[in-house]
Chain A
Amino acid sequence: MDTNKFNYILQQADNCLILGQRLGEWCGHGPILEQDIAMTNISLDLIGQARLFYQYAAELQDEGKTEDDLAYLRDAWDFRNVKLVEQPNGDFAQTIIRQFLYDTFSCYYYEALKESNDERLASIAAKSHKETLYHVKWSGDWVLRLGDGTSESHERAQSALDLLRPYADELVIPSEADQKAAEEGYGPDLGKIAELRSEKLNAVLSESTLNVPESGFTHSGGKDGRHTEHLGYILADLQFLQRAYPGNKW
């Protein structure tokens, strides 16, 4: 098995699954019915993307395992998602800022991944890119509304940005898997994505009258399986059924 490719695919698969699970927590709790549905729609898009990546990873692994084994039967240290996506929902502003920081990565990432020399990854990227363009429009519009809204919404958006900004760059800092993937041509160069993304981030944030905090410190380690305390709780929820009733189907 190509271990690096396997790990590389898991990074993005796990980003999608964990963020999808987080957004799913809003189901029935959204600030208004229409946004409740918007968040769960995006959640389902992300889980759909995760499935495509897991299916491919399971095939590469070639141990007779399925996408479900990868989602439900790995422990926290085997997950390769960035720490940003496992951060709690907080208030609506915090969820929006987290989503925007992620979407501004994923839309450029998928666009570049469409050029992958691995056809399977290129086709997953093509499908996901369209979905992500909508996600970034949705979260970007909300950043603008909250930031340039009332004094309360501005304050909440600003403190969410202050809180989450240090988690934003892990997405574009290459891990060993990212580096090798770029060298071998099946993964994009994250340096270019970082540039495009920071341009977009700065444009929307300044239009939203939000101050971009000076990024002195960046959390990292998620891509290597070192996570914040939150991931364990997410997995406890997500994996409970398969852990308690192994192999159960419904």
Chain B
Amino acid sequence: MKSMSKNWPLWEIFIRSKAGLNHKHVGSLHAADAAMAIQNARDVYTRRNEGVSIWVVESSHITASDPDDSDPLYEPAKDKVYRHPTFYDLPDELKHM
């Protein structure tokens, strides 16, 4: 298992659980290429009826923000409550806002 895991790249897996919802990140797995990643994702992440659609992306293609930059990136938004649309009166008929 070890030698193959070293050779096969890691893929991030996104599953859409039903039509209309977003794809959500569910985890990662190893595969030789995109087609195998889809097939592996089907076997690993949808065996309990979790999904209707799968996206895969090679993990190395994802650029992540640096945790050390957390303060400048996210702190400034914390005291700006007026950016949340909570100051409007919504009619009761509107759901899921």
Smallest Cβ distance from A175 to chain B, in angstroms? 34
Chain B residues with Cβ under 8 A from A41's Cβ? 43, 47
B37 (CB) vs chain A CBs: closest residue: A34
A29 (CB) vs chain B CBs: closest residue: B1
Please tell me if A216 contacts chain B, counting CB pairs below 8 Å: no
Smallest Cβ distance from B96 to chain A, in angstroms? 34
Please tell me if A33 contacts chain B, counting CB pairs below 8 Å: yes
Smallest Cβ distance from A166 to chain B, in angstroms? 30
Please tell me if A37 contacts chain B, counting CB pairs below 8 Å: yes
Chain A residues with Cβ under 8 A from B1's Cβ? 30-33
Q: Which residue of A31, A34, A141, A145 contacts B43 across the interface (Cβ within 8 Å)?
A: A34
User: Chain A 111-146, CB within 8 Å of chain B: the 1/0 string?
Assistant: 000000000000000000000001001100100010
Q: Which residue of A31, A34, A145 contacts B40 across the interface (Cβ within 8 Å)?
A: A34
* B39 x A31 contact (CB < 8 A): no
* B32 x A145 contact (CB < 8 A): yes
Chain B residues with Cβ under 8 A from A38's Cβ? 39-40, 43
Please tell me if B64 contacts chain A, counting CB pairs below 8 Å: no
Smallest Cβ distance from B81 to chain A, in angstroms? 45
B31 (CB) vs chain A CBs: closest residue: A34
Chain A residues with Cβ under 8 A from B42's Cβ? 134
Smallest Cβ distance from A216 to chain B, in angstroms? 36
A187 to B35, CA, bound (A): 36
Chain A residues with Cβ under 8 A from B31's Cβ? 34
Smallest Cβ distance from B30 to chain A, in angstroms? 6
A31 (CB) vs chain B CBs: closest residue: B4
Q: Which residue of A32, A137, A138, A141 contacts B30 across the interface (Cβ within 8 Å)?
A: A32
A32 (CB) vs chain B CBs: closest residue: B4
A30 (CB) vs chain B CBs: closest residue: B1
A138 in contact with B4 given A32-B30, A34-B30 (CB within 8 Å)? no
Chain A residues with Cβ under 8 A from B35's Cβ? 141
A33 to B2, CA, bound (A): 10
Chain A residues with Cβ under 8 A from B5's Cβ? 32
User: Chain A 27-46, CB within 8 Å of chain B: the 1/0 string?
Assistant: 00011111101100100000
Which 10 pairs between the two chains have the least Cβ-Cβ distance?
Answer: A34-B40, A38-B43, A32-B4, A37-B43, A34-B29, A41-B43, A37-B44, A34-B44, A32-B1, A31-B4
Q: List 28 A-B contacts (CB under 8 A).
A: A30-B1, A31-B4, A32-B1, A32-B5, A32-B8, A32-B30, A33-B1, A33-B29, A34-B29, A34-B30, A34-B40, A34-B43, A34-B44, A37-B43, A37-B44, A37-B47, A38-B39, A38-B40, A38-B43, A41-B43, A41-B47, A134-B42, A137-B39, A141-B35, A141-B36, A141-B39, A145-B32, A145-B36
Q: What 14 new A-B contacts, CB under 8 Å, besides A31-B1, A41-B43?
A: A31-B4, A32-B1, A32-B4, A33-B29, A33-B30, A34-B31, A34-B40, A34-B44, A35-B40, A37-B43, A37-B44, A137-B39, A141-B35, A145-B36
A binding-site residues for B, Cβ under 8 Å: 30-35, 37-38, 41, 134, 137-138, 141, 145
